[in-house]
Amino acid sequence: MAKNEELVFGIHAINALIDSAPERFIEIWLLKGREDERLMPIINLARKYGISTQMVQRKFLDEKSEGEQHQGVVARVRPGKVFTENDLDDILASAEKKGQPPFLLILDGVTDTHNLGACLRNADAAGVQAIIVPKDNAARLTPTVRKVAVGAAEYVPLVQVTNLVRTMKQLQQMGVWIIGTAGETDTCLYETKLSGPMALVMGAEGKGMRRLTRENCDQLVKLPMAGSVSSLNVSVATGICLFEIVRQRSA
């Protein structure tokens, strides 16, 4: 595949991308003999926008998706915009115009593609305006991430920053309160005021936040754990924390 092309697979991911950026599509491959009600919306949208479609055997789709669940559809597309720290001002200004205070998710070194996809899905559902990740040592937007995110990757910007701590300090200067999650604190999530301009920081799988990231948070909180297992999957913990912020904001 050419450098200026990407693959996307999965029904929700492709539907969302056609809906948001049909001009990016080069070609869609569909599983031969499968024209059921789940694939028909994609077929109809492809016809509407004049996107080339081709019926192919399952083996072809399996090879393109490298063994991941493609749900009978794979697309070849032009790359989308890569968001950087330079885009944050515009993202927050756009939210402000809608009367929305800053609500951001920062992932410090989450490398698992399935976790990033699930966090994107959580963020979209909670109304997060952007996810901020370090440029290095973190998962990127891959076909698997887009599939797991079931379309959310097309609506929540993934902002890759060169220096995470510097970006956090810039957000703090803009009045954004940064809450980090760490097991060693005594402060429970549910005892913390979580309204106003807010950024939630979640650490990497297993290791948690890096030291400098943790030291630059305004406050650290933890989830109460009643069982024998000491921690939750990062995407599950992210969903719980985000929706506690949503609950408090809407109270």
> pLDDT, tens digit, for every residue of 76-103?
999 988 899 999 999 999 999 999 999 9
107 is in an annotated binding site: no
**Pair 236, 112 in one domain:** yes
**Pair 68, 123 in one domain:** no
Over residues 204-226, the mean pLDDT reads: 89
Domain-terminating residue out of 77, 106, 136: 77
Torsion 134-135-139-140 (CA) sign = positive
Answer whether residue 16 is part of any domain: yes
pLDDT of res. 145: 93
203 is in an annotated binding site: yes
Task: Tell me the HSE value of 187 on the side-chain side, using a 13 A CA sphere.
Answer: 13
Amino acid, res. 228? S
Using 50, 70 and 90 to split pLDDT, how confident is the model at 250?
Answer: confident
Answer whether residue 60 is part of any domain: yes
Answer whether residue 1 is part of any domain: no
Q: What is the pLDDT of residues 157-207, one digit of tens each?
A: 999 999 999 999 999 999 999 999 988 888 999 999 998 999 999 998 778
232 is in an annotated binding site: yes
The total number of structural domains that make up the chain: 2
Q: What's the whole-number average pLDDT of the chain?
A: 91
Domain-terminating residue out of 33, 62, 77: 77
Domain-terminating residue out of 25, 57, 77: 77
**Pair 110, 230 in one domain:** yes
**Pair 94, 189 in one domain:** yes
Over residues 8-36, the mean pLDDT reads: 90
pTM: 0.91
Range from 67-81, 120-134, 162-176 carrying the lowest mean pLDDT: 67-81
Q: Percent of the chain at pLDDT above 70?
A: 97
* CA distance linking residue 227 with residue 56, whole number of Å: 49
* CA distance linking residue 166 with residue 121, whole number of Å: 26
pLDDT of res. 4: 78
pLDDT of res. 158: 97
Q: Which domain holds residue 158?
A: 83-250
State whether residue 83 is helix, strand or coil.
Answer: strand
| Cβ atoms 46, 21 nearer than 8 A | no
* CA distance linking residue 65 with residue 238, whole number of Å: 27
**Pair 114, 235 in one domain:** yes
Q: How far apart are the first and last CA of the chain?
A: 50
**Pair 47, 122 in one domain:** no
